[in-house]
C-alpha cells in the first residue's frame, strides 16, 4: 500500500500528498479527477462477487453495537456499507495508493474513511438520467469531503458510466438532457474523484449487462493548510482560475484550501482572479484588503456579496 498508513480504531489513513499546486487548482476549477483502471483485477472480481452475493462476507471486525442481523440487513440493502469492513476492499479500493495520495492532498492528514456507500446497480441498456446535483449538496468554498465513484467492471461508454459536467460544482446548473458531459468510462477498477456538488448523471447505455457503481465520501479531519506538493514558481496572482462567473468561486475555494478563506476579497470587473491571455500585465486587485466575496447563495444578480 505504498506509504499509506491505516488506523482502524480512528477509521482514517495518512500518507504523503501527491498533487501539486497546479493539480489542486485544477480540481478546484474542473471539479473532478479520473483514475482509469487503478484497482487490481482480482479485487474488482471479488467486489463484483460480493455485491452479487456469490461469496460470503468476511468482515475484519464488527462495529460496536452491530449484530449479525444488522450486518446481513445492510449487505442486502442499496447501501451495503459492510463492504468497507472487508480487508481486501480496505486495502485494494479504499486505500488504493493513487487515490489515497489525491485525498491526502485535498483533505489534509488523517483522512476520514467512508462510512456509507450507495450501490447503483443498473441492468443495461437504459436511457440517460436527467442531470442532477446530489441530495444535500452544498455550494461554498469549503472542501470538507470529496466523493468517489468506483466501477468494479469494465465500463465503456456503451455501458452508461457516470457522466460529469465539469465546472458545475459552484452553482445550481440547469442542463438539457440532450447536452453531454465527460464520461467516467474505463476498464474495471476505474475511480472517479469529484466534488460532491458537481452536476452528473448515469449516461445512456446501449450495451447489455449489469453495471455496478459504488459511491462514497472521504472526509477532512484537520484544518486546511496547503500541505500538498508546492511548486516553487507557482504564482497565485497569474494562475488560471477559469473564466467569467467561475474564477471568483474557484479562487475562493483555493484560498480556503490554503487556510486563508477569511482573507479572500475581490474587487470585481476584470480584476483578479479573472485573467485573459491577452493582458499585458498582472491583474489588478490581487490580495485586496476590502471588497467583495462570491455570492455562493446566489442572492444577488451580479454574483457578488459585500465582504467588508
Cell of 184: 467516467
Q: Residue 1 has what pLDDT?
A: 44
Using alpha carbons, list the distances in angstroms from residue 63 to 58, 70, 240. Answer: 13, 10, 45
Q: Residue 2 has what pLDDT?
A: 66
Does residue 35 form part of some domain? yes
Does residue 229 form part of some domain? no
Q: Please list, in sequence order, all residues whose beta carbon lies within 8 angstroms of the beta carbon of residue 191, skipping any fewer than 6 positions away.
A: 34, 35, 38, 39, 96, 99, 148, 149, 150, 151
How far is Cα 85 from Cα 170, in angstroms, rounded to an integer? 34
Does residue 228 form part of some domain? no
Measured at the alpha carbon of residue 38, what is the angle toward residues 13 and 46, in degrees to the nearest 5? 85
Domain that holds residue 129: 5-219
User: 182 φ, ψ to 5°?
Assistant: -100, 125
Q: Residue 54 has what pLDDT?
A: 98
Q: Residue 307 has what pLDDT?
A: 86
Last residue of a domain, one of 165, 187, 219: 219
Radius of gyration of the chain (CA): 21
CATH number at residue 37: 2.60.120.620
- The answer on 173 and 52 residing in a single domain is yes
Q: Own/partner pairs for 23-26, CB < 8 Å, 24+ apart?
A: 23/105, 23/228, 24/105, 24/106, 24/228, 24/254, 24/257, 25/239, 25/240, 25/241, 25/250, 25/254
Contact 123, 241 (CB under 8 A): no
- The answer on 131 and 12 residing in a single domain is yes
Using alpha carbons, list the distances in angstroms from residue 120 to 51, 105, 139, 152. Answer: 11, 28, 24, 12
Structurally, the chain folds into a number of domains equal to 2
Does residue 249 form part of some domain? yes
pTM of the model: 0.97
Does residue 81 form part of some domain? yes
- The answer on 267 and 160 residing in a single domain is no
Each residue's pLDDT, cut to its tens digit, for the chain (308 residues) gives 469 999 999 999 999 999 999 999 999 999 999 999 999 999 999 999 999 999 999 999 999 999 999 999 999 999 999 999 999 999 999 999 999 999 999 999 999 999 999 999 999 999 999 999 999 999 999 999 999 999 999 999 999 999 999 999 999 999 999 999 999 999 999 999 999 999 999 999 999 999 999 999 999 999 999 999 999 999 999 999 999 999 999 999 999 999 999 999 999 999 999 999 999 999 999 999 999 999 999 899 899 998 87
186 has which bridge partners?
A: 155
Amino acid at each position: 500500500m505504498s506509504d499509506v498508513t491505516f488506523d482502524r480504531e480512528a477509521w482514517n489513513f495518512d500518507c504523503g500528498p501527491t498533487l501539486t499546486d497546479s493539480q489542486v487548482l485544477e480540481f478546484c476549477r474542473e471539479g473532478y479527477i479520473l483514475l482509469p483502471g487503478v484497482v487490481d483485477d482480482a479485487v474488482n472480481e471479488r467486489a463484483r462477487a460480493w455485491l452479487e452475493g456469490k461469496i460470503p462476507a468476511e468482515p475484519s471486525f464488527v462495529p460496536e453495537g452491530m449484530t449479525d442481523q444488522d450486518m446481513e440487513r445492510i449487505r442486502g440493502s442499496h447501501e451495503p456499507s459492510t463492504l468497507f469492513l472487508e480487508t481486501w476492499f480496505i486495502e485494494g479500493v479504499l486505500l488504493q495508493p493513487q487515490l489515497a495520495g489525491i485525498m491526502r492532498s485535498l483533505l489534509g492528514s488523517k483522512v476520514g474513511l467512508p462510512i456509507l456507500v450507495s450501490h447503483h446497480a443498473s441492468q443495461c441498456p437504459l436511457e440517460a438520467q436527467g442531470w442532477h446535483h446530489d441530495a444535500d449538496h452544498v455550494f461554498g468554498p469549503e472542501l470538507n469531503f470529496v466523493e468517489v465513484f468506483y466501477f468494479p467492471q469494465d465500463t465503456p461508454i456503451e455501458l452508461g458510466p457516470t457522466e460529469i459536467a465539469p465546472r458545475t460544482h459552484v452553482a445550481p446548473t440547469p442542463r438539457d438532457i440532450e447536452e453531454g458531459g465527460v464520461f467516467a468510462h474505463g476498464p474495471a477498477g476505474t475511480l472517479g474523484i469529484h466534488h460532491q456538488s458537481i452536476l452528473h448523471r448515469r449516461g445512456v447505455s446501449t450495451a447489455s449487462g449489469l453495471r455496478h457503481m459504488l459511491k462514497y465520501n472521504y472526509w477532512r479531519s484537520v484544518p486546511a493548510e496547503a500541505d500538498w506538493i508546492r511548486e516553487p514558481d507557482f504564482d497565485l496572482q497569474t494562475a488560471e482560475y477559469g473564466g467569467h462567473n467561475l474564477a471568483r468561486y474557484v479562487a475562493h475555494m483555493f484560498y480556503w484550501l490554503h487556510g486563508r478563506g477569511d482573507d479572500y476579497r475581490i474587487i470585481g470587473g476584470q480584476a483578479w482572479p479573472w485573467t485573459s491571455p491577452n493582458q499585458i500585465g498582472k491583474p489588478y486587485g490581487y490580495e485586496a484588503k476590502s471588497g467583495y466575496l462570491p455570492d455562493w447563495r446566489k442572492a444577488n444578480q451580479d454574483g457578488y456579496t459585500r465582504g467588508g
